[in-house]
Structure 1
Amino acid sequence: MKKQPKKANWQVWWRLLRPHTLTAAFVPVSVGTALALKAGQVNIPLFLVMLLASLLIQSATNMFNEYYDYVKGLDTPESVGIGGTIVRDGVQASTVLYIAIAFYALSIIAGIYICAASSWWLAAVGLVCMAAGYLYTGGPYPIAYSPLGELLSGILMGTTIILISFFIQTNTISLESVLVSVPIAVLIGSILLSNNIRDLDGDRAKGRRTIPILLGRSNAITLLAALFTFSYLWITGLVLLSIISPWALLALVSITKARQAVSGFRGKSRAVEMMPAMQATAQTNTIFGLLLAVGLTMCCWF
């Protein structure tokens, strides 16, 4: 086995967070808050605490994933797309688990602040999101081993986070916020789908039953393209129906990245060859979501 170069400590911990996945945390908060800005003044401290809580939960989920994939023998020094903190950098598995638990504890503290400023009913919603993050790879029946990962991640990290971010600012839920959350949920689910396309062979060998395993790689790539197309058509439809401002069409700039993601998967069979395509999928969500948030904000000024 080729010896891995020694990394600086900050690089080890940064990779443990799997930063390319954090788009699934900050994009929904940004979109939900931009929608709230249309309805009135935004509480900046509340926005920042909500953003912190979402990033902590997403980071902890990544760490639980790192820990349980190691414990169950899925991760090796040759694995592609992992943080590698345990199998390559020599960090104790228990340390990763304790950090994940600490992040959850910090997110609970942030959640208490959010609930005190809005509604304590949100505590139940937050606990469901946290439980799903843990159960994705933890517990006796991990979500990651089933075809439900994409759906649940889209609903919980996309729609739910957008609606919470909107609610804590406005104390209500609007039809517009629900409709705008749909393409973000789809794109967040697509990030996980791209991950499962890349890991198809290894996941099948470990007994997982993800969507790409059930559909086959080619059909899963076609599904990814269909999800991208749906997201662009949905946001365009909302503009044509005058539900949201034409400024929201700024999100269409991300089409180039979506095409890059799909073409990057076509004809590839090795995980390392598909890493750029997976990264392009995450970048599609980032660009789409942030430009959508900018567009929704622009309509308040023009």
Structure 2
Amino acid sequence: IGLKYVALGDVVILITFGPLAVMFAHAVQVGYLSVLPLVYAVPLALNTEAILHSNNTRDMDSDKQAGIVTLAILVGPTLSYVIYNLLLFVPYLLFCILATRYTISMALPLLTLPMAFPLERQFRRQCYAKIPQKTAKLNLLMGLFYVFGIILAPQGSLPLL
């Protein structure tokens, strides 16, 4: 049975497109598995899940008719809005913590914050049509700025890298 029929798609995507990918990429580079680099996976994993969640929220009606069960269907539009906002904005909080605690270069992803507010407003108005694509664009830019932030960080300023 497909994961999309038992509301596990969100969980699987969150884990595989974030922590697992980072953990195994790290293992390939250093030759051993470690859970320590997972902290760096969380911001983009959350934002990647925002893409899926916005897509599932947009498709709630057709998914219900097809017998698909997603988190968005289980919690409904109001809680889906809350979840989307957490997935959208918690990464920025994490970047603020990284920037203030370790190096200012980790503030680079904050340059994408102005793109997030129109997405929140569009989601709140339940105008879901282009939100997954716009969230994916935000994710791409956030990821690029995140990589630049890591590259520009003074050597030794970021723990576990």
CA distance, structure 1, for counterparts of residue 92 and residue 11 of structure 2: 18
CA distance, structure 2, for counterparts of residue 171 and residue 235 of structure 1: 28
Unaligned 5+ runs, structure 1: 1-140
Unaligned 5+ runs, structure 2: none
**Aligned residues of 1:190 and 1:281 also touching (Cα < 8 A):** yes
**Aligned residues of 2:55 and 2:131 also touching (Cα < 8 A):** no
CA distance, structure 1, for counterparts of residue 9 and residue 134 of structure 2: 20
Tell me the equivalent position of 1:283.
137
Post-superposition offset of 1:199: 0.2
The residue identity in structure 1 corresponding to 2:139 is: N
**Aligned residues of 1:183 and 1:234 also touching (Cα < 8 A):** yes
Post-superposition offset of 1:167: 2.3
CA distance, structure 2, for counterparts of residue 167 and residue 257 of structure 1: 34
User: Pairwise mapping of residues 245-284 of structure 1 onto structure 2 (< 5 A)?
Assistant: 245-268=103-126, 274-284=128-138
**Aligned residues of 2:4 and 2:70 also touching (Cα < 8 A):** yes
**Aligned residues of 2:5 and 2:67 also touching (Cα < 8 A):** yes
Tell me the equivalent position of 1:161.
21
CA distance, structure 2, for counterparts of residue 239 and residue 170 of structure 1: 26
User: Pairwise mapping of residues 187-206 of structure 1 onto structure 2 (< 5 A)?
Assistant: 187-206=47-66
* Count of matched residue positions in the alignment of Structure 1 and Structure 2: 155
Post-superposition offset of 1:228: 1.6
**Cα RMSD (Å):** 2.0
**Aligned residues of 2:112 and 2:142 also touching (Cα < 8 A):** yes
Post-superposition offset of 1:174: 6.3
Taking only the aligned residue pairs, the percentage that are identical comes to 26
Match of 1:210 among 64, 67, 70: 70
The residue identity in structure 1 corresponding to 2:21 is: I
TM-score, length basis structure 1: 0.48
The residue identity in structure 1 corresponding to 2:152 is: M
Provide closer, same or farther for how the CA distance between residues 240 and 174 of structure 1 changes in structure 2, counting only shifts above 3 A. Answer: farther
CA distance, structure 1, for counterparts of residue 60 and residue 143 of structure 2: 27
CA distance, structure 2, for counterparts of residue 297 and residue 186 of structure 1: 21
Tell me the equivalent position of 2:92.
232
**Larger of the two Rg values belongs to structure:** 1
TM-score, length basis structure 2: 0.85
CA distance, structure 1, for counterparts of residue 3 and residue 99 of structure 2: 35
**Aligned residues of 1:261 and 1:276 also touching (Cα < 8 A):** no
Post-superposition offset of 1:181: 0.7
| 2:6 is aligned with 1:146 | yes
Off by >6 Å, runs of 4+ in structure 1? none
Post-superposition offset of 1:260: 2.2
CA distance, structure 2, for counterparts of residue 229 and residue 153 of structure 1: 18
Tell me the equivalent position of 1:109.
none
